[in-house]
Amino acid sequence: MEKALTESEKKLLTVLGENPYLTMKDLVNYTPYKWTSTIVKKVEQFRQKGMFYGPYYFINYDKLCKNPFRLLFCILESDQDYEAVISYLKIIEPLKSLFAVLSPHKELLNVIFLSSDTQKTEVLLQLLKDSNIITDYIVRAFCCRRFIENPNFFGDLNPSLDNVLDLCEIPDVSFQHHDTDWTECDITLLPYLRMAYGRGKLIEILKAERKKNRNWKYDQLQYSREKMIENGLIEKKYFICPFPGEECADFNMFIRTENPGLTQRILHNFGRNARVLREYAFCGDWGYIGFESHPQFLMDVMAKLDSLDVVTDKELYQLRSAQRKGYYIANPPALQYFDVKTQTLEYPYQVYREKIKEKIENEWLAG
């Protein structure tokens, strides 16, 4: 077990999680540390321990294009090995992320797709089911903005649910809309900005683009980034784990009540101000919450939910270790089909369908 954090370290991590636009120099005024060099050293130590990631630029996809565009959270079941299923999912270019789920019976995957057409995505999954690549699937579309909250390192590592039904001020969760025309430079830059640290630095992006014979200027990229921030397409975020990576429990949870307003209140209060990293959103009549937490919180959370009579349905998916090769995928957004003239983004689902069918036929013939 990692040794306990000092009060100064807790303050640094909490402030960074709440204020991602502060520079390392600014943090001297918000933490007990007196030297910028000390803060930089501390942050790098946390990064080495798997506690500190980013900065990332969180993308508000509802502002990206004029046509409807959503994130789809899918739960896939299969009797086949993960590798076999994943080889088919990789054919679908808007595959955003994939996590293997711990399960004693079937192979389970949590998969997130970008989608310009929910129904056509479901057609692809039905094809996989009809071909026995997967045995079942659930598709849940994010129908409101997602919220990410970093840990309060002074909070409870195993928070109770005593306050989840409390009245609270709910933030605006409604989708935004496309109100800014994006240029080719904007769309080129956007996938890189998922990770602003390291390869996501503008100078590194310039180098990567020059290898593709695209000679952007530094000022162009800088202007595009500021334009996307000012117009709400991207928002800078750190992802800070409450404990070193190998000591965290990572799980996704869905809950449902008979009252959407009550579900929304539970989502907002659940684990708030605790020592957990959480993400939450609405998916239809289900509420979604993703956690990184102390393992004890995971062990207790279902029993705690059982005590809430208002929760009519609940599901929990514990993720396998991201260190297991191939069981975790995080892709940059697939934006190559963005049409600058029409400001629309539509994926070629028929192409994916034909490629999947071809792979199925080839593997059947190889038999």
Q: Encode pLDDT of 3-61 as tens digits.
A: 789 999 999 999 999 999 999 999 999 999 999 999 999 999 999 999 999 888 999 99
Query: 3-class SS at 84?
Result: helix
pLDDT < 50: residue spans in the chain: 323
pLDDT at residue 330, as a whole number: 84
pLDDT at residue 197, as a whole number: 59
C-beta atoms surrounding 222 within 10 Å: 12
> In this predicted model, what pLDDT tens digit does every residue of 292-340 receive, in sequence order?
999 999 999 988 888 899 999 999 999 876 545 556 788 889 999 999 9
Identify the residue whose tokens are 């029409």. Answer: 342
Token pair of 241, please? 């784990």
Token pair of 285, please? 């009549």
pLDDT at residue 348, as a whole number: 98
Q: Is the peptide bond before 20 cis (omega within 30 degrees of 0)?
A: no
pLDDT at residue 284, as a whole number: 84
Q: Note the pTM of the prediction, 2 decimals.
A: 0.91
Percent of the chain with pLDDT over 90: 75
pLDDT at residue 327, as a whole number: 66
Q: What are phi and psi of 339, to 5 degrees?
A: -100, 110
pLDDT at residue 61, as a whole number: 93
Query: 3-class SS at 122?
Result: helix
pLDDT at residue 367, as a whole number: 62
Tell me, what amino acid is at 245? G
pLDDT at residue 229, as a whole number: 95
pLDDT at residue 196, as a whole number: 63
Tell me, what amino acid is at 313? D
Whether the Cβ atoms of residue 86 and residue 98 lie closer than 8 Å to each other: yes
Residue 173, Ramachandran bin (φ over 0: left; ψ between -120 and 50: alpha; else beta): alpha
